[in-house]
Amino acid sequence: MKNRPTYLLFVLGLVLCTLLFVANLSLGSVSIPFFEIAGGLLGKGFVKSTWETIVMEYRLPKALTAIFAGISLSVSGLQMQTFFRNPLAGPYVLGISSGAGLGVALLLMAGSAFGWVVYSGAWGIWAIIIAASLGAILVLLLMSITAWKVRDSMTLLIIGLMFGSAVSAIISVLAYFSEAEQLKLFTIWSMGSLGGTSFGQLKGFSFAIFLGILPVLWMLKSYNAMLLGEAYAESMGINITRLRWGMIISTGILAGSATAFCGPIAFIGIAVPHMARLVFRTGDHRILLPASALTGAIILLFCDGISQLPGSAQTLPINAVTSLIGAPMVIWLILRRNFSKEF
């Protein structure tokens, strides 16, 4: 593995990602031949019009959502592990997921708790996306103000966890007073889902990813120095304040948008950067960034394929699948590797 050229690993990863992408389009209650889908995507058309409708309107947006979410969560997870120099840091340590959950909880359950009429079915998925985004932005603003006051990264990590705990407590209070129907809606959202996303929403999702990755590309050369400590990075002439703000804002946009469009998805942000390090055998962020993004897309496509339950109309919650796969993977990585050499 060490002698294998990096470009070859990227080529193999892209091939695997493409195969999983097409395979995802063939899985579901209606079986569609693999080569029929490949031909349809290449412009040759589908034999049946129903196959075209199923693929283009339902399965294709879902597969693209899996790729976008995998990229967002893996890149934000890589940033947080670098920021805190902690192998178990993930994209949600700043309380972003909890903030998004609070926004959705207020939307879905505030009516039962306080007698408000906030949520209406006519709003559809956009209401949940807007509510989750506003909640994530609120927590991100609070964490940004905290980062401006606090200089130590570990202190910021603890404060982020406290923000998450406080928000979770508020959600629990809302859940206690809510009615069964609203509680069920929130529970379903908290399980995560890659389906139900339209092409119009995917445009917004892709734009959010673009905005979130811009700060990463701008400051990528500084990331390697962060692993050696903020004092060392500052001695190298790196503006630590600007770098910390850039990493927090980038993570907030990436993780917040993924949570808004898909709900909370566990373990992708924690496990994928370690998998990229293991496969590509490098700690250089110039390689790790695209490697993590590619690996995240592959893993989430794989998890989505498992959730499809081939031959069945049922779909498992994506959060359950990623947890079942990600938790043993993180345990194995911890037992196998010496993280003290990397962080």
Mean pLDDT of 269-280: 90
CA separation, residue 288 to residues 10, 149, 249, 334 (Å): 11, 30, 20, 19
124-155 pLDDT per residue, tens = 567 777 888 888 888 877 877 877 777 676 77
Least Cα distance to 103 among 132, 143, 60, 70 occurs for 132
Q: Tokens standing for 296?
A: 């995240």
Could you tell me if 33 and 26 are in contact, meaning their C-beta atoms sit under 8 angstroms apart?
Answer: yes
Query: CA 181 to CA 162: how far, in whole Å?
Result: 29
At 2, is the pLDDT very low, low, confident or very high (cuts 50, 70, 90)? very low
Query: CA 3 to CA 203: how far, in whole Å?
Result: 39
Q: Would 283 be classed as within a structural domain?
A: yes
Highest mean pLDDT among 110-114, 265-269, 306-310: 265-269
**pLDDT the model gives residue 122:** 45
Q: How many other CB atoms are found less than 10 A from the CB of residue 176?
A: 11
Could you tell me if 318 and 303 are in contact, meaning their C-beta atoms sit under 8 angstroms apart?
Answer: yes
Domain hosting 181: range is 6-341
**pLDDT the model gives residue 342:** 58
Q: Would 1 be classed as within a structural domain?
A: no
Q: Would you state the torsion angle of the CA atoms of residues 186, 105, 139, 288, taken in this order, to the nearest 10 degrees?
A: 10
Q: Would 26 be classed as within a structural domain?
A: yes
Q: Would 193 be classed as within a structural domain?
A: yes
Q: Would 53 be classed as within a structural domain?
A: yes
Kindly report each contact of residues 332-338 with a partner whose C-beta sits within 8 Å and lies 24 or more positions away, as own/partner. 333/271, 333/274, 333/275, 333/278, 334/87, 337/274, 337/278
pTM: 0.86
Mean pLDDT of 229-258: 83
Mean pLDDT of 170-191: 84
CA separation, residue 102 to residues 77, 163, 166, 224, 242 (Å): 21, 11, 10, 34, 29
**pLDDT the model gives residue 327:** 83
Q: What is the 3-state secondary structure (H, E, C) of 171-209?
A: HHHHHHHCCHHHHHHHHHHHCCCCCCCCHHHHHHHHHHH
Could you tell me if 209 and 257 are in contact, meaning their C-beta atoms sit under 8 angstroms apart?
Answer: yes
**pLDDT the model gives residue 127:** 76
How many residues are present in the chain? Answer: 343
Which residue is it, tokens 């209070």? 173
Could you tell me if 333 and 48 are in contact, meaning their C-beta atoms sit under 8 angstroms apart?
Answer: no
Query: CA 321 to CA 327: how far, in whole Å?
Result: 10
At 191, is the pLDDT very low, low, confident or very high (cuts 50, 70, 90)? confident
Query: CA 161 to CA 155: how far, in whole Å?
Result: 10
Q: Which helix (H) or strand (E) holds 295?
A: helix 285-307
Highest mean pLDDT among 130-144, 289-303, 314-328: 289-303
Q: Tokens standing for 79?
A: 């940033």
**Helices vs. strands in the chain: H and E counts, helices first:** 14, 0
CATH classification at residue 105: 1.10.3470.10
Q: Tokens standing for 14?
A: 């892209």
Q: Provide the number of structural domains found in the chain.
A: 1
Give me the helices (H) in the chain, please.
6-26, 34-41, 49-54, 60-84, 96-114, 124-149, 153-177, 180-190, 199-226, 230-235, 240-262, 268-280, 285-307, 318-336
Q: Would 239 be classed as within a structural domain?
A: yes
Query: 218 or 334: which carries more pLDDT confidence?
Result: 218
